[in-house]
Structure 1
């Protein structure tokens, strides 16, 4: 799994059994949703169904491990891009290989579409991670400080994930399987230029609006 993903550590044969199962589950959950069965995941990982339960206890336990891995990969990549000596260089490097995030984006989309406590937990962890790596960018002098770092991180996560969910919904055609690697590239190419203009140049010319709003609270 993730055969094109440079974020994966080592080749498939180098991974532990638990890691192979987890990576297979991330890919299958992303492709088919969380209705996919344990037997299908075991077959994709090349193990017996009993080993899935042995390592993770239940399907929810496996999903929690998948969440943790997706968060780890996303957090590490975002942090390395933001804290590069040149944030432009870090972002361009990430954009150059954006297709390789396809399986991770697919997993996050399926999780958020499914809703419920596990989706809410994944989102809240993403916000918590964003607070940390955005602050690292602030400390590195690449990002402006915020009056409310947590609120800013939550807004950015809702903005980015909401845009991704909408884009997926608009490009879904019945039961046709989406190519998330291509979708992530197309979405990035379309939204990156206006997003960078928005983030680097701002939008509203009157800076007193925020001060007025804060005084009225």
Structure 2
């Protein structure tokens, strides 16, 4: 009997968390417990029973969103990444609540926004290291700096693209699918083939910087 109750509790907890992700993504982080409870088909008291408070619910949303993004990135940057590309592009709309929630978290700024960003950077250090070790990513002269720039660039581009939408999209999943379709080719082209035709600008910068870091070419071997 206890195991059945535990499964029911886990199902209700996941349903509430998923409803919160969707509602936060659509209407912002100011949404109250009552609206989320209505979406999940439960009472506000049950939301508080499972999560203790709205902050506790936000913590659960954070943990789930980080785990989803971490796994998607790990697969994309691993040896099977090219084989999984079409699958991920076809299912990108499924990630709309997670992506929308995370964008809201970044837009809100403050301690939680900064904490979320640093969590992304920390996760990226792990899966980028795995990609370098697997030989699917080139090593960097300054891996921490590269990861931070990539995280800022990826999030910043998505946030700006969404902010420029007029009127704001009603269907976040459709918008995310369109955005992904628009950026996939130029992003993959830039990351794979580069933009500059030679390395003169890099060499000029390295000669300007005192004691420039050396790229560890053995990291990918």
TM-score, with normalisation over the residues of structure 2? Answer: 0.84
CA displacement, residues 142-183 of structure 1 (integer Å, 9 cap, x when unaligned): 00011222211111111011010011011141xx55311111
Does the CA contact (< 8 Å) of 1:82 and 1:91 recur in 2?
no
Measured against aligned partners, the alpha-carbon deviations of 1:60-119 in whole angstroms (never above 9, x if no partner) come to 11111101100001101111121134x322333322222221111111111111111111
Unaligned residue ranges in structure 1 (runs of 5+): 1-12
- 1:31 paired to 2:26: yes
Task: Label 1:138 to 1:210 Cα distance change in 2 as closer, same or farther (>3 A).
Answer: farther
Alignment map for 1:130-145 (pairs within 5 Å):
130-145=124-139
| CA 96–57 in structure 1, closer or farther in 2 if over 3 Å, else same | same
Structure ID, larger Rg: 2
Contact 1:26 1:103 in 2 (8 A): yes
> Which residue in the other structure is 1:40 paired with?
35
1:150 counterpart residue number? 144
| Residues matched between the structures, number | 202
SS of match in other structure, 1:16? helix
Q: Does the alignment pair 1:52 with 2:47? A: yes
Aligned to 2:210, the other structure's residue is in SS state helix
1:116 aligns with 2:102: no
Please, which runs of 5 or more residues in structure 2 have no aligned partner?
1-7, 213-221
Aligned residue for 1:52, secondary structure, equals helix
Task: Tell me the residue number matched to 1:64.
Answer: 59
Change (3 A) 1:184 1:144: same
Distance of 1:120 and 1:166 partners within structure 2: 18
Root-mean-square deviation (CA, aligned residues, Å) is 1.9
1:165 aligned onto 2:159:
yes
